[in-house]
């Protein structure tokens, strides 16, 4: 689709409560869209991918910019926390490094100052960088609607490109991540066409946990290589079935590649993306393992 010369006309409303926002969504139906950083929404409006007469700004709602951590209950992130806030937050860096790393790879510094985690997840692009991190961290997304709040797991949320478990007149208000075990390590590796500022061709998130009895568990999620971000469950099961080490990692990388189903497009062929899933999974597993042994 060709870019249009400018944005279409729209009304702007800054909601002052979550109830007001969801009531406006209900009243305007498909004519309304929620606005946070606007880094996906405005390009989409300009290119005619979204049609909206009313933009409802929800990033200033109470709690939306908040980040709370508790050793027992974990991390709760307001949906409007920005990528730079996540990437630089000391608790996120120390306890949830896969999320800090993923947020730090999004676009450029300037865009990361606007782009929010909630916008990234709700836009539901298969290449959303924070999505694989939420899968390996087994996050829950807090969704608010006219009936109140409900929680949906990251695994249930993504339904297809641009498709989520959000119901009509519902909005994301936060992301809840369980407490991270003390012996944990993680790595997010992203391949784009250039070193920085590009959407990913392949994104691989790996978390590893020491169980205290000498055994380890790994979680792996992939971005950009299927209609939704996906967990590589067979690769995880392969790792669980044998001692950690080079042979196990090579087998898991093969299984991660088998879990991907990329399509060829102008940015790369499916064969290349599949091969890069194997390569990046192997590298991320080696890196996480080295951190766990250190």
Ligand X SMILES: Cc1cc2nc3c(=O)[nH]c(=O)nc-3n(C[C@H](O)[C@H](O)[C@H](O)COP(=O)(O)OP(=O)(O)OC[C@H]3O[C@@H](n4cnc5c(N)ncnc54)[C@H](O)[C@@H]3O)c2cc1C
Write out the residues near ligand X by the rule CB under 6 A.
Answer: 33-41, 43, 58, 79, 106-107, 111, 114-116, 118-120, 122-123, 128-129, 166, 171-172, 199
* Residue 76, CA distances (Å) to 142, 177, 185 in order: 10, 6, 20
Q: Would you state the structure tokens that stand for residue 95, as one six-digit string?
A: 């306890």
- For 181, other C-beta atoms within 10 Å of its C-beta total 13
* Residue 224, CA distances (Å) to 104, 214, 260 in order: 17, 34, 9
State how far the Cα of 170 lies from the Cα of 22, in Å rounded to an integer: 6
Give the nearer residue to ligand X in terms of CB position, either 18 or 220: 18
Dihedrals φ, ψ of 179, to 5°? -55, 140
Least Å distance between CB 214 and ligand X?
37
Least Å distance between CB 131 and ligand X?
8
Residue number, nearest CB to ligand X: 119
Give the nearer residue to ligand X in terms of CB position, either 39 or 216: 39
State how far the Cα of 94 lies from the Cα of 103, in Å rounded to an integer: 14
Least Å distance between CB 208 and ligand X?
23
Least Å distance between CB 293 and ligand X?
31
Give the nearer residue to ligand X in terms of CB position, either 199 or 244: 199
Q: List Cβ neighbours of 54 (8 Å cut-off, separation of 6 or more).
A: 10, 11, 12, 13, 24, 28, 31, 32, 33
Least Å distance between CB 236 and ligand X?
23
């Amino acid at each position: 689709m060709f870019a249009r010369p400018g944005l279409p006309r729209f009304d702007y409303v800054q909601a002052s409560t979550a109830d007001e926002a969801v009531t406006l969504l209900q009243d305007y139906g498909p004519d309304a869209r929620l606005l946070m950083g606007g880094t996906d929404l405005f390009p989409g409006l300009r290119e005619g991918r979204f049609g909206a007469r009313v933009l409802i700004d929800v990033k200033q709602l109470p709690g939306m910019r908040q980040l709370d951590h508790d050793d027992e209950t974990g991390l709760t992130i307001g949906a409007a926390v920005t990528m730079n806030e996540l990437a630089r937050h000391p608790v996120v860096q120390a306890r949830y490094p896969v999320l800090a790393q993923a947020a730090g790879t999004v676009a450029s510094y300037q865009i990361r100052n606007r782009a929010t985690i909630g916008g990234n997840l709700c836009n539901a692009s298969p290449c959303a960088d924070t999505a694989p991190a939420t899968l390996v961290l087994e996050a829950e997304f807090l969704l608010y609607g006219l009936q109140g709040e409900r929680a949906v797991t990251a695994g249930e949320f993504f339904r297809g490109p641009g498709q989520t478990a959000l119901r009509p007149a519902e909005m994301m208000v936060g992301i809840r991540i369980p407490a991270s075990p003390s012996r944990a390590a993680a790595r997010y590796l992203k391949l784009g066409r250039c070193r920085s500022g590009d959407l990913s061709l392949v994104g691989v998130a790996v978390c590893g946990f020491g169980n205290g009895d000498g055994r380890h568990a790994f979680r792996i999620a992939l971005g950009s290589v299927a209609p939704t971000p996906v967990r590589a469950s067979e690769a995880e099961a392969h790792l669980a079935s044998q001692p950690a080490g080079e042979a196990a990692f090579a087998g898991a990388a093969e299984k991660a590649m088998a879990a991907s189903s990329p399509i060829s497009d102008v940015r790369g062929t499916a064969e290349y993306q599949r091969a890069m899933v194997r390569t990046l999974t192997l590298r991320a597993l080696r890196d996480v393992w080295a951190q766990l042994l250190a």
